[in-house]
Chains A and B, each alone.
Chain A
Amino acid sequence: MLAYIIRRMLYAIPILIGVNLITFALFFVVNTPEDIARMQLGAKRVTPEAIEKWKGEHGYDKPLLYNAAANGTDKISDTIFFDKSVRLFVFDFGNADDGRSIGHEISTRMWPSLALALPTFLIGLLFNVTIALLMAFFRATYLDFWGVVLCVAMMSISGLFYIIGGQYLISKLWNLVPISGFSGGFDAFKFLALPVAVGVIGGVGSGARWYRSFFLEEMGKDYVRTARAKGLSENVVMFRHVLQNAMIPILTGVVVVIPTLFMGSLISESFFGIPGLGSYTIDAIQAQDFAIVRAMVFMGSVLYIAGLLLTDISYTLVDPRIRLE
């Protein structure tokens, strides 16, 4: 089992290298630093001098891969590739275009992100599983039928509408919570209540319907018939046998997103004015700040790979077939 985990961790290394190469190619090869500088400067101020100056300020004035002019190891290390890509491996993200340290921003902004994403995730999971379980329990009744219809309808609505609708109803019409903003401490609750609720409701349609199919699939299996043949009540069959088996794919399926919760939610954070990594990213995209986007891509990949690793570990924890083999 330990060997298994170590192997999975080693497997992560080539993937991270791959991510790094892809982002490097995207950001520096497809478009050269000149192109980016030209765009950043705007059409009017483009002069060769201005471009050179911009490149110098942002550290793009080096060769891409190999610096023939430098000495010794600097031939490799004094390049854009080394500066901008290899350094990511030690979480050295450099500075944003406005000169602020990206690493620092990430470390302060991930907590508000987490404060929004974690409750959304947990409550959402609980909500989806409960509703799915109810629908499966009352399968082939009107409750189930209309539940599925409602789920399909809800998953056909863009997430943007949930946010806009929620803001309009709760904040504007009923004035229950502030429409947007954030603060630390207990005050955070009143700012987070709405985005969390919106996030949960927005995900219920697809989530509950999907989990319902898990439950129904489990309920068609032979061991459920065995459990019934023992004389167990439908409640026991459902909550002891079916739930336990269906939770294996459900739990291991969601574990992968847990680390990426740190990344926050782009849309929700920007709508609700929460100063997390999501709104940081979206601002960077809109300001075309490539340094930040690159850093976030790398961060996201690292967290996703951590999620894959967690998935593997969680399998060994919840499934005796894997734990004991």
Chain B
Amino acid sequence: MTMPVLLLTDALILLLLAGVVGYFYFVSRRPQMRATWMRVTESPSGMAALVVLFAYLVVGLLDSVHYRPVLEAKDPKAATVYSVEVLSLLDVLASPLRERQERTYSAPFDTRAYSKETIEIPGTDGAPGKQVREFPRLQFGGVHLALESERDRDILVTALRGFSLAFALWLALAALLSAVLARGSAISSSETMRRIWRGETRVPWSAVLIMLGLLLAIGGPVITLCTRYHVLGTDKVGQDVMYLALKSIRTGLVIGTLTTLVLLPLAVVAGVTAGYFRGWVDDVVQYVYTTLNSIPGVLLIAASVLLMQVYIDTHPDLFPTSVQRADLRLLFLCIILGLTSWTGLARLLRGEVLKLREFEYVQAAQAFGVGHSRIISRHILPNVMHVVLISLVLDFSGLVLAEAVLSYVGVGVDPSMTSFGTMINAARLEMGREPMVWWSLAAAFVFMFVLVLAANLFADSVRDAFDPRIRVRGPAMQKG
């Protein structure tokens, strides 16, 4: 038995997920909105990006199911005791990565540590042992090799095994897809397959399959290799960098999505009421957002986070585990980011609503004496939702990038929490070492770049589908 732990952010992620599912259920019943989303699915780059985002999402969700394992009791009659350590499903799946901790740095695929150590060589035949300074063998990386010279061949063989498994999986998925697509139509599944490859399907399945293939082609070998080697090396305390990178994904996703939970109601309420009622409501809203906007964003965030840190430090008793404390700080960061970044969307909505309220169908409703709340909910809100949606998907990548900067400044996530920001921050000092420790930085770079690029491409296709003219984003806010 284990004790499930529902972190605050886990709960909110579930809420958000439920919201997203609900939204798409809603969309599926509105032919118009469905048609617009269908246009999103017609963009090859958008669909390829979606595959990548989906992969990230799976990792992030696996990392959002937490529990406390039972400590093995020596006395079977004693009450079960739970570990203070909170683990997630991802931790379990990645336990080969998590548990195989070296003493310190090692380069990717290396079998020996990064720095020389003094090693005792026991004497033979009663001769005195001697001490040698050399690069010690790693405790886990490549430890199965009898001869280190076999390493390259072993890597190749292992990678090929992973690759062929991945290829088989990919073929199976492709066959499944064409079978599913062919179902209910007169076309055979092999013909469907041909059409996919000729790009004759409405949804660009070829792009999806290529992207999936690419992911599997990289993922397959990596998975088989990472049980034997440290594919991305290890960090200062010997943790596998691949594990850190995987753990960072959840942090990035949480920042990019939960922030919107805070931002959304504020922005919608402020923007819509200001635009619809005008007059003094508009004056107040405009005053509030000009005031908030005029405070430099980073500083406002920094000040809030510092103050929250003071609060956490002065109330240590509120948090049973360090994970929960770090989680609260993450949530706070989302809230603060949300509180400081709703103004852009609110202003956009205000402008849109100002235009909409002059539309004749709104006046027609007014001529029926329809109340304000009903006009807003029936006529205004549904017609500005595309602005909200576009702005949210566009914000996502900006928020992921902002996390890195904030963590660097020291006002981001808790230092104990793995994130792209903390990885980069740590890696910065490693750049000065000789020889250079480049792998953590490279890992953070690649994982983050792929996530943000996919998000940007997806956002573009959403924007193109919903409104090709709307401009939501200026040059990225100068966060530094």
Direct A–B contact in the complex, CB atoms closer than 8 angstroms: yes
Stretch at the interface among B113-121, B186-194, B286-294, B358-366: B286-294
Stretch at the interface among B8-16, B56-64, B102-110, B449-457: B449-457
- For A294, what are the chain B residues with a Cβ–Cβ distance below 8 Å? 303
* B300 interfacial by beta-carbon distance below 8 Å: yes
Cβ–Cβ contact A267 & B457, under 8 A: no
Cβ–Cβ contact B287 & A164, under 8 A: no
* A233 interfacial by beta-carbon distance below 8 Å: no
- For B303, what are the chain A residues with a Cβ–Cβ distance below 8 Å? 23, 26-27, 290, 293-294, 297
- The digit string for A186-221, where 1 denotes a CB below 8 A from any CB of B, is 000000000000000001001100100100010000
* B174 interfacial by beta-carbon distance below 8 Å: no
Contact for A159 among B310, B401, B441, CB less than 8 A: B401
* A156 interfacial by beta-carbon distance below 8 Å: yes
Cβ–Cβ contact A301 & B296, under 8 A: yes
Interface residues of B (CB under 8 A from A): 287-288, 290-296, 298-300, 302-304, 306-307, 310-311, 313-314, 397, 401, 404-405, 408-411, 420, 424, 427-428, 431, 441, 445, 448-449, 452-453, 455-457, 460, 469, 471, 473-476, 478-480
- The digit string for A298-316, where 1 denotes a CB below 8 A from any CB of B, is 0011001100100000000
- 18 intermolecular pairs with C-beta atoms under 8 Å apart: A15-B294, A22-B295, A26-B304, A30-B307, A158-B420, A158-B452, A159-B480, A164-B427, A168-B431, A260-B296, A266-B479, A281-B299, A282-B410, A285-B306, A285-B409, A296-B299, A300-B294, A308-B294
* A322 interfacial by beta-carbon distance below 8 Å: no
Name the distance in Å between A27's Cβ and chain B's nearest Cβ: 7
Q: Given the known A-B contacts A158-B405, A285-B306, A285-B411, are A206 and B476 also in contact in the complex, defined by CB atoms under 8 Å?
A: yes
Name the distance in Å between B286's Cβ and chain A's nearest Cβ: 10
* A58 interfacial by beta-carbon distance below 8 Å: no
- For B397, what are the chain A residues with a Cβ–Cβ distance below 8 Å? 156
Cβ–Cβ contact B475 & A128, under 8 A: yes
Residue of chain B at shortest CB distance from A269: B480
Cβ–Cβ contact A288 & B478, under 8 A: no
- For B475, what are the chain A residues with a Cβ–Cβ distance below 8 Å? 128, 203, 206-207, 210
**Assembled-state Cα–Cα distance A212/B471 (Å):** 11
Name the distance in Å between B473's Cβ and chain A's nearest Cβ: 7
* A153 interfacial by beta-carbon distance below 8 Å: yes
Name the distance in Å between B312's Cβ and chain A's nearest Cβ: 10
Cβ–Cβ contact B295 & A285, under 8 A: no
Contact for A285 among B292, B410, B420, B453, CB less than 8 A: B410
Cβ–Cβ contact A36 & B310, under 8 A: yes
Cβ–Cβ contact B457 & A152, under 8 A: yes
**Assembled-state Cα–Cα distance A157/B455 (Å):** 12
Contact for B452 among A19, A38, A156, CB less than 8 A: A156
Q: Given the known A-B contacts A27-B307, A156-B449, are A286 and B469 also in contact in the complex, defined by CB atoms under 8 Å?
A: no
- For A257, what are the chain B residues with a Cβ–Cβ distance below 8 Å? 478
Q: Given the known A-B contacts A18-B291, A23-B303, are A157 and B410 also in contact in the complex, defined by CB atoms under 8 Å?
A: no
Cβ–Cβ contact B299 & A300, under 8 A: yes
Cβ–Cβ contact B456 & A290, under 8 A: no
**Assembled-state Cα–Cα distance A157/B296 (Å):** 23
- For A278, what are the chain B residues with a Cβ–Cβ distance below 8 Å? 480
Q: Given the known A-B contacts A31-B311, A38-B314, A206-B475, are A164 and B449 also in contact in the complex, defined by CB atoms under 8 Å?
A: no
* A39 interfacial by beta-carbon distance below 8 Å: yes
- For A22, what are the chain B residues with a Cβ–Cβ distance below 8 Å? 291-292, 295
**Assembled-state Cα–Cα distance A159/B403 (Å):** 11
**Assembled-state Cα–Cα distance A305/B449 (Å):** 35
**Assembled-state Cα–Cα distance A206/B410 (Å):** 25
**Assembled-state Cα–Cα distance A38/B310 (Å):** 9
